[in-house]
């Protein structure tokens, strides 16, 4: 019996690890309630209706301010320097169709991705024709 004791302990440890692995998979499936890929910017907006784009992080929420003036765009935070409208429209179109992998429903893991309140994530905010925010995208903390 004493010769088989290490073998029995090893078998019990393997069985315990197998049970833990199955339990972890089951609990993960229950915790993840959204599809694997989801729309990132939840707002439904028309890129042609956007009049203002702001980019900032933490206390500096208006580090970059881009505004539509007539048919063109200017950078308000760069002495009204003209902005390449084509590139800005490409950015808006990309944000309108942005998809991402779903990670979790838990707010506690936001800091792991640099998106929590302690991280001061970079935030891109879009404003519509009535100058009200229509959507925002958090990009994680600055490196």
Say how far residue 12 (Cα) sits from the centre of its chain. Answer: 42
- SS3 assignment for the chain: CCCCHHHHHHHHHHHHHHHHHHHHHHHHHHHCCCCCEEECCCCCCCHHHCCEEEEEECCEEEEEEEEEECCEEEEHHHCCEEECHHHHHHHHHHHHCCEEECCCCCHHHHHHHCCCCCCCEEEEEEECCCCCEEEEEEEEECC
Q: What is the pLDDT of residues 20-73, one digit of tens each?
A: 998 888 777 666 655 566 676 666 788 889 999 999 987 787 899 999 998 899
Query: Alpha-carbon distance 77 to 66, whole Å?
Result: 8
Looking at every residue in the chain, the average pLDDT score rounds to: 84
Q: Taking the complete model, does pTM exceed 0.85, yes or no?
A: no
Q: What is the pLDDT of residues 83-111, one digit of tens each?
A: 999 999 999 888 888 887 777 778 888 88
Q: Is the pLDDT of residue 128 over 80?
A: yes
Query: Alpha-carbon distance 137 to 120, whole Å?
Result: 13
């Amino acid at each position: 019996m004493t010769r088989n004791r290490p073998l029995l302990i090893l078998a019990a440890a393997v069985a315990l690890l197998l049970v833990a692995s199955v339990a972890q998979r089951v609990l993960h499936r229950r915790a993840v309630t959204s599809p694997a890929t989801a729309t990132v910017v939840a707002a439904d907006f028309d890129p042609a209706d956007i009049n203002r784009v702001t980019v900032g992080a933490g206390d500096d929420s208006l580090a970059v301010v881009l505004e539509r003036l007539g048919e063109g765009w200017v950078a308000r935070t760069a002495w009204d320097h003209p902005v390449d409208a084509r590139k800005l429209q490409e950015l808006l179109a990309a944000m309108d169709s942005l998809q991402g992998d779903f990670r979790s429903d838990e707010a506690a893991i936001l800091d792991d991705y640099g998106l929590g309140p302690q991280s001061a994530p970079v935030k891109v905010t879009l404003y519509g024709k009535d100058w009200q925010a229509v959507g925002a995208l958090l990009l994680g903390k600055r490196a």
